[in-house]
Amino acid sequence: MTVLVPDELQPTLDLLSAITPFVSVAGQIDQQRALARWLEEWIRHHLAGVSVLPVDQQYHQDAPPLVHMRIDRQAAKTLVLYNMYDVMPAEENGWQLPPFTGGVGVWPDVGAVYIARGAENNKGPLAGMLMAVKSLCASDQLNVNLEIILEGEEETGSGQLRRYLAQVPSPIAPAEAVFFPSLCEYGGGEPRVYLGFSGLSGGRLQVNGGHWGGPAAAIHASNANWIANPVWRLVDALYAIAPAKESGVIARQPIDQAANSLLTTLAAQFSIEQELCFRRSEQLAVSGDTLSCLQQLINGAVVNISAIRSDPLEALGVIPHSASAEFALRVPPGIDGEAILADIRQTLAQPQFAGVNLLLDDSYPGHRFSRQSAGVEALLASYRQQQARPQIWPWAPGCAPAYAFAAIAPAFLIGGLGHGGNAHGINEFVTLHGLMRFQHSIVDWIRLFSDETALAAAN
């Protein structure tokens, strides 16, 4: 079926189609470098008045490069636009179109869609963000200084970005707000505004055969009665860290009055049934009314296990010589993630867990900011301009490196209209209507952020 793309949207779709084929996943450093260079050249060519800020020696490192640009309008306000060009891996099996080729299709339930890895998270929003800035520059309506910073490690902890921002003096100018444009009409529902983000610690538990027992190489399973299996030791360690009956939740905190007030308002308009449909699940792991479920969603530190492996893999009839579990510890603002990691290490130091090692790839804390922070009202007003009713959350159950920007700006906002889905999954998509809606909302947000008179009129 031929899909008619609105003329207004075609340049954005062309940009998204150009960056989709870069396999910018963790471990593909050549592809990540190539995409970073491509984006830098595109920005240099298409955005008026932009200057490139060099990031020393980054092309000689193993980390994906940062792209840092500045548009100085000598304006009273400065805004940081942050985004990411890395995506999750994808195999072609099950996809309607090859994930790193992408293309337009039509689905009965949502209409015209662009399908590709990164369409929702976050190449689609990146393309829309850049085109929004281009349209403001072209119409001479950009009345704010912009710092644009793009990273290629958001999915793996943002280590390069966090080290860059930690420099003294900061390479990014002080700003009123940091904005992370994303598709926030999750499942096509009301758009969300998060006033903070959870922290993230990612890594793995590794068990190797050795002095504690377990073979140094895979052996026949007939020895299982008297030779220890590393997989069983791994399972025992996982249960000691986070009992399965709690689905990985290892700490909770009380919800304070300010957060509970926001959640009470949110609960009155929030549908658990719609959320389950969007999350492709049939029931929650918690119980209670809507308010109680929302409280439990955001107030717990949780260990998520994404993969358990043995070596050799899929070898029947053997005792493997090693086993590992990939984990992510998500910690809301207010809970000390470092203290939780220390407790985990203390647990693993017990004699019965000899041979179990905690290997941490990266870690950063959660961060929260106020409802009155700069940029929040402008974001809410940009939603209302397209007749959307925003949902305000105290903080997100998801993670973002908001804390790393805390010394630069008082607020780190993720926002934008638009409907996408299947992030990290098969047939990731953004609707064409949603992509155009997203781009309009970014233009509106930047305008309202820079113009107090327009913001007052919008409210």
Which of 363, 397, 412 is the last residue before a domain boundary? Answer: 363
CATH of the domain at 350: 3.30.70.360
User: Confidence class of residue 54 from pLDDT cuts 50, 70 and 90?
Assistant: confident
Residues 386 and 357 in one domain: no
pLDDT grade, residue 60 (50/70/90)? low
Query: Which of residues 337, 363, 389 is at a domain's end?
Result: 363
Q: Which of 72, 54, 84 is nearest to 175 (CA)?
A: 72
Specify if 447 maps to a domain.
yes
Which two tokens mark 112? 């015209």
- Asked, for residue 274, whether it belongs to a domain, the answer is no
Hey, CA dihedral for 48, 54, 55, 57, is it positive or negative? Answer: positive
Note the pLDDT tens digit of each residue in 425-458.
Answer: 999 999 999 999 999 999 999 999 998 777 877 7
Domain around 438: 10-197+366-458
Would you say residue 312 lies in a domain? yes
In-domain check, residue 293:
no
Give the residue with greater pLDDT, 165 vs 4.
Answer: 165
Whether residue 104 is found in the same domain as residue 166:
yes
- On the question of pLDDT at 98 being above 60, the answer is yes
Asked if the structure places residue 381 within a domain, the reply is yes
pLDDT confidence of residue 58: 66
Question: Are 44 and 181 found together in one domain?
Answer: yes
Are the CB atoms for 104 and 113 separated by under 8 Å? yes
Q: Say yes or no: 153 and 125 in one domain.
A: yes
Residue 362's pLDDT band, with cuts at 50, 70 and 90, is confident
Interval 207-216 mean pLDDT:
96
Domain count, the chain: 2
Residue 410 belongs to domain with CATH number:
3.40.630.10
Give tens-digit pLDDT for 270-285: 999 999 988 889 999 9
Q: 127 and 29, same structural domain? A: yes
* In the chain, % of residues over pLDDT 90: 83
99 plus 124 within the same structural domain: yes
Tokens of 51: 């200057």
Q: Is the dihedral of CA 278, 282, 284, 285 positive or negative?
A: negative
Q: Are residues 185 and 126 in the same domain?
A: yes
Same domain, 141 and 204: no
Could you tell me if residue 1 is inside a domain?
Answer: no
In a domain, 259, yes or no: no
- Domain match, 316 and 403 both: no
What is the residue-averaged pLDDT of the chain?
93
Please compute the mean of the pLDDT values over residues 378-385 and round it to a whole number: 94
222 with 246, same domain: the answer is: yes
Q: Final residue of a domain: which of 315, 338, 363? A: 363
Is the Cβ–Cβ distance between 42 and 12 less than 8 Å?
no
Predicted TM-score (pTM) of the model is 0.88
280 belongs to a structural domain: no
**Same domain, yes or no, for 41 and 167?**
yes
Residues 99 and 242 in one domain: no
pLDDT value of residue 40: 93
CA distance 13 to 18: 9
